[in-house]
Amino acid sequence: MTRRKQHRFDYNSQSSMVVERGKEIYNDIKGHWKQDYFCNTQPLVVELACGKGEYTVGLAQAFPDKNFLGVDIKGDRIARGAKQAETLGLKNVGFLRTDINFLREFITNGEIDELWITFPDPQPRPKQEKHRLTHPRFLNEYKELLVPGGTLHLKTDSPGLFAYSLETVQETGFTDLQYTNDLYNSPLNAIHLGIKTKYEQIFFDKGFSINYLQCKNGRS
């Protein structure tokens, strides 16, 4: 491990912005994010596979009346987002370090108001399908974790994953689907507020179009 990475892991272990194994709150936070972590009753917005937290932090700046939680397994990446949020003085940001497969261990049913999936690994090979974050097994879990009518967002540069996701969100009972294959030339562009991750900016600069969808949790 490089010295820089070790420094980030050390930061995570001390930072109140990062919830990870070894901290008391790690085992007790399920169902209590708003009350015990953010200490308010504002809506909870979760970003899965948040990487360096660019989108989580960007949204938190834009919406101070909401709580934002970035989830990722990579501690060195999370540390960057947490440091940025701390530098900006944001109080409505947190990061959970865990595998997304274990999300249910930390979030209870109906606890999330809005869910973002931004540029996930497309897992393009057929045998990887079950690992796609828009596979039905994940989507059915999101439906339970989201409040009824809660919003699911997906942004991806992968046409294959996007086409797959358009099918699976409808098959699993999500409703009010809106989508575009060219976000930056679409009326839906206003939803993302111009926030771009590092890799999204690279894709955009190379002329790749960005696919986006949003839909509602049809669970009553």
Choice among 10, 121, 176, 182 that is catalytic: 121
Bridge partners, residue 68, by sequence: 45, 93
| 182 among known catalytic residues | no
Token pair in block for residue 15: 């930072």
What residues act catalytically? Answer: 121
